[in-house]
Amino acid sequence: MTHNPLNWSLGKRSRPWLELVELLRSGRAPSGLMVSKDLRLASLRLRALPADLRIRGDLDLRQSERLRRIGPGLRVDGSLLIGGRCKDPRWLQEVPSALHAKDPLTPLAELPKRLVVGRDLVLKGCHELRSLPADMRLGRSLRIYGCRRLEALPKGLHIAGDLELGAGNGLRKLPPGLRVDGDLRVYGGQLRALPDDLDLAGKLVLLNCRDLERLPPTLQ
């Protein structure tokens, strides 16, 4: 079955957006849905997103307190934001109060395979997340905060922008073959060492890294 792109805009009071929210809420959303602009789903109690979802703009999943699964093949041409607190967005008044989410933590245990993000990937308060998919592709920066069970990043990870690791993450080491074209910023956390073959083009910023034992001997 072929599904037409869902075109919507908040400036048009968004009946297509409400229909999409109800479809996602039902759990019967088909794979291959495409949204031609930004998709704002922050502060909504959605449990899952379908496979092969395509977003032509940004995808906002902040304060998604029940989100547990995102189907494989998600492609976001803009930035992808998952978890973290946000002020009540203006579209929240458009949906039933039973769909309103308040908890900034997100129970998502894994990111989808074949994930493609055209710009930034921002993860906040994903307290069940343990690793990132080895086949994900990012167009710009990766920012991770408060993912306390996160154990590893993919080997050979290439970040075209900045890599920013905030306090509350569970990472103790960074992967071999890590390449960062922008800055590497680490603010607190449990990081003990940087990879010996770290390829860093920008600045190295380390703040409150009390467990850090050494720097790579070849770091330039």
**51-57 LR contacts (CB < 8 Å, sep 24+):** 51/112
Given this model, what pLDDT does residue 156 score?
A: 95
Average pLDDT, stretch 87-92?
A: 69
11 has pLDDT over 80: no
Neighbours of 199 (CB within 10 A): 12
Mean pLDDT of the chain: 88
- Residue 105 tokens read as 């933590």
Given this model, what pLDDT does residue 98 score?
A: 61
Average pLDDT, stretch 114-124?
A: 97
13 has pLDDT over 50: no
pLDDT band of residue 103 (cuts 50, 70, 90) is low
CB 3 within 8 A of CB 32: yes
User: Mean pLDDT: which of 33-37, 133-137, 212-216 is highest?
Assistant: 133-137
pLDDT band of residue 96 (cuts 50, 70, 90) is low
Q: Which residues contact 105 (CB under 8 A, 6 or more apart)?
A: 65, 83, 125, 126, 127
Return the closest-CA partner of residue 36 out of 8, 70, 59: 8
Q: What is the pTM of this model?
A: 0.89
> At residue 116, what are phi and psi to the nearest 5 degrees?
-130, 125
Given this model, what pLDDT does residue 167 score?
A: 85
Beta bridge partners of 185: 164, 205
pLDDT band of residue 112 (cuts 50, 70, 90) is very high
DSSP class per residue in the chain: -----B---GGGT-HHHHHHHHHHHHT-PPTT-EESS-EE-TTB---EE-TT-EESS-EEETT-TT--EE-TT-EESS-EEESS-----GGGGGS-GGGB----------PPTT-EESS-EEEES-TT--B--TT-EESS-EEEES-TT--B--TT-EESS-EEE-TT----B--TT-EESS-EEEESSS--B--TT-EE-S-EEEES-TT--B--TT--
Given this model, what pLDDT does residue 10 score?
A: 35
